[in-house]
Chain A
């Protein structure tokens, strides 16, 4: 019987049993990267470097001293994580000012664990957009249908996992950039609570909303990855009180609140899929309206543009022509917002946290990951629920709420549309209850997969 090695969890078991070697996994991943080159998932990939890491991992394992469960497993890295062995460009012509030759904390953690730093993945320029259509390397294509976008900004990571090139990849998430491509590509994506996982060495978009996050082929893969994400890092002051990941938390029948209301509309096919999944997952489900969405969204946009404009100011002054036209417009708009606008936004942000807590006794809040299935490449507008919005806004339609609140979030695949495109469910947990959120997601995923 052939050993299954498509998910990271299967790869962990197969390496441990000796059924496969790291070199086998690395070579297969490289072959698949060539086969799926048209997806444009990777922007930097050195086969010889990948194989030398794999061979070193095989030697360690043969000597009985693997560095961790991840030793010898290929993991792809979004191109906004600093890496000592690959250039970091954020997929922009306006090259970052950060020094080369260092690793982001997440990359350093994975490297120290023996994971193969497989290559850098395509992304929406500077993570400042959610379609992955804007990149100096060109757009990424959705493995389920190359005429469709992947969503972004971690679209290369999403495509690489969904195509089976690698079982796991790193993304970053400021308004849904892990969850959006996870939803559009039919994989799993986790955004930790703000301050739970180090942002050090990830080129910032918005300091107070950025989060690193794993993307993977199976939910249990996240359980292997999150211990390398969560915990304090002296290089990231936001993590000073962060606890390590507790892998002993298990799930019980969860209390879910399905959020609805003006501003939370979705297409009929997505709404039908969400309601069907909620009816089949053996959870205690209630429905609640969240009002004032336009105000909360304005607060998210204000903080996003102000923080991005502040970070980019030196590079924009030096090389404005290096930015895409739309990215440049965002950055210039951020400069025109006033201090009082930013403080009003921060006041509204505090209200959101309280409002979500006041919804009562819940384990997770539920929304679709996206209001529509993956849009066609080149489509400027999406229509759903009586709305006509830009494709960009449709991608972040729900996800930004988790970043503004700082809550942990996960996207899980719950089914396919009649067109064969994935539909994702997003779950938001309570702040720093990342383990409980993963347990809730495991409960839902397990019941849906069991056909309950």
Chain B
């Protein structure tokens, strides 16, 4: 990751890695039905068509 972000410090990179590891670990271990609709809704409005 250091090559991607040469301007960031080791501490910042370590925080990023720890955050991503924690998130992916949590998401991967949580089983959901494939068809489970995500909790967001799109409500079409007239202004969306403008």
Binding site for B on A (CB under 8 A): 208, 237, 240, 292, 294-299, 301-302, 305, 320, 325-326, 328-330, 332-333, 336-337, 341, 343-351, 353
Contact = CB atoms under 8 A, between A and B. Distances in A.
Contact of A297 (B5, B24, B26, B45): B26
A178 B38 CA distance: 27
Contacts of B5: 332
A175 B46 CA distance: 33
B36 A347 contact: yes
A310 to B, nearest CB: 14
A344 B26 CA distance: 11
Nearest to B9: A325
A325 B38 contact: no
B20 to A, nearest CB: 6
B12 A329 contact: yes
A301 B16 contact: no
Closest 5 CB pairs of A and B: A298-B26, A295-B30, A346-B38, A350-B39, A349-B39
Interface of B: 5, 7-9, 11-13, 15-16, 19-20, 22-27, 29-30, 32, 36-40, 43, 45
A301 B19 contact: yes
A292 B30 CA distance: 7
Given A332-B8, A350-B38, A350-B39, A301 B23 contact: yes
Contacts of A240: 43
Contacts of B26: 294-299, 301
Contact of B36 (A208, A301, A302, A351): A351
Nearest to B19: A333
Contacts of B9: 325
Given A325-B11, A325-B12, A353-B39, A344 B32 contact: yes
A437 to B, nearest CB: 21
Contacts of A208: 40
30 contacts: A208-B40, A294-B25, A294-B29, A295-B30, A296-B30, A299-B26, A299-B30, A302-B23, A325-B9, A326-B12, A326-B15, A328-B12, A329-B12, A330-B19, A332-B5, A332-B8, A332-B16, A333-B15, A333-B16, A336-B20, A337-B20, A341-B24, A344-B30, A346-B38, A347-B37, A347-B38, A349-B39, A350-B36, A350-B38, A351-B32
A435 to B, nearest CB: 24
A91 to B, nearest CB: 20
Given A208-B40, A332-B16, A351-B36, A295 B8 contact: no
A123 B25 CA distance: 31
> Which of B9, B19, B36 counts the most chain A CB atoms within 10 A?
B19
A103 to B, nearest CB: 23
Nearest to B30: A295
Contact of A295 (B29, B39, B40): B29
A302 B9 CA distance: 23
Given A325-B11, A326-B15, A333-B19, A302 B27 contact: yes
